[in-house]
Amino acid sequence: MSKFMSPEWAKAFKEALNTNPAYAEAARNWEGDFYFTATDMPGDTKAKTMYADLWHGKCREAFIVTGGDDEREPAFRMTGSMPVCKKVVEKKLDPIQGLLTRQLKLQGDMVTIMRNVKSAQALVNSLATIDTEFPS
């Protein structure tokens, strides 16, 4: 079991995407990297951010951002509270629905996201396979 937004979880995220043929197919035309940020983490005053380099159906890199050399300028930044992120990971909230209802915030080209809905859904299906321990 991997703790949500830990280095082990980022590694499991990358592996889950790279071993899912449905994600590879759905995201075959996707080009863009992300910062995924979870706010309101229980017992932690700081938000947790994971960087993910997503490229043509593969995750080339995924890690928890700690600052310094980790800083990137990703094409997209998606932010949500930990309870909302948990709902997404557990497939209780579709990420596009989360964006449209403003439970998730996006910086980046929303048109690109809307053209790649199947890619986002396949990504979440991959996340749901990760044995995740959420903070309480």
Give the pLDDT confidence score for residue 99 in this predicted structure. 93
Per-residue pLDDT of the chain (136 residues; tens, 9 = 90+): 999 999 999 999 999 999 999 999 999 999 999 999 999 988 877 899 999 999 999 999 999 998 766 778 999 999 999 999 999 999 999 999 999 999 999 999 999 999 999 999 999 999 999 999 998 8
How far is 58 from 96, CA to CA, in rounded Å? 20
The token duo for 82 is 């930990």
If you search the block for the tokens 């690109």, which residue do you land on? 112
Number of neighbouring beta carbons within 10 Å of residue 34: 21
What's the token pair of residue 136?
A: 């309480």
- The residue count of the chain comes to 136
pTM: 0.93
pLDDT, residue 46, reads 86
pLDDT the model gives residue 8: 98
Residue range 2-131 forms a domain whose CATH class is: alpha beta
CA distance 75 to 10: 19
Q: What is the pLDDT of residue 24?
A: 97
d(CA 30, CA 45): 33
Query: For the chain, which residues make up each domain, given as ranges?
Result: 2-131
